[in-house]
């Protein structure tokens, strides 16, 4: 256990997040998402929700320039409660979030560096985050 690190960030997950480069992406997927079919690197976090995992990851990972986050467009095109929670957890808004059609989203997710499968059961509870530049703040 590490002090100051969100307990959802397991050693395995931190290792993969650290290995990601600028603009590499991580998908935080709901329990319905075909993570193992699409990803070479998958970390399972059962019993968690996607918003809480997004918040944990954002505590150590800056977002790339807009769009730093992609969400899957719902079947009827409305922004769902879980998606509002994902944007809040990521620190983004509807205007700075890209919404991607379901099958196109799978293709974008296929190229992600890492997929994290959660226990989220709400539909369209998926978020793709792009890693920004990690560095020292300028004076």
What residues act catalytically?
A: 22
CA 18 to chain centre: 15
Peptide bond between residue 67 and the one before it cis (omega within 30 degrees of 0): yes
Closest listed residue to residue 70, CA positions, set 103, 96, 44: 96
Q: In what order do the strands lie in the sheet with 127-130?
A: 42-45, 114-118, 25-29, 127-130, 69-72, 97-100
Q: Which two tokens stand for residue 67?
A: 């769009």
């Amino acid at each position: 256990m590490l002090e100051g690190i969100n307990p959802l960030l397991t050693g395995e997950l931190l290792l993969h997040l650290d290995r990601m480069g600028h603009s590499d992406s991580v998908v935080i997927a709901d329990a319905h998402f075909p993570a193992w079919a699409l990803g070479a690197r998958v970390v399972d976090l059962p019993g968690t929700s996607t918003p809480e995992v997004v918040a944990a990851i954002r505590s150590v990972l800056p977002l790339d320039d807009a769009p730093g986050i992609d969400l899957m467009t719902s079947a009827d095109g409305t922004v769902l409660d879980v998606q509002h929670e994902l944007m809040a957890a990521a620190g983004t808004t509807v205007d700075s979030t890209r919404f991607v059609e379901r099958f196109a989203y799978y293709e974008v997710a296929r190229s992600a560096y890492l997929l994290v499968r959660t226990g989220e059961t709400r539909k369209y509870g998926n978020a793709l985050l792009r890693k920004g530049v990690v560095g020292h703040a300028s004076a």
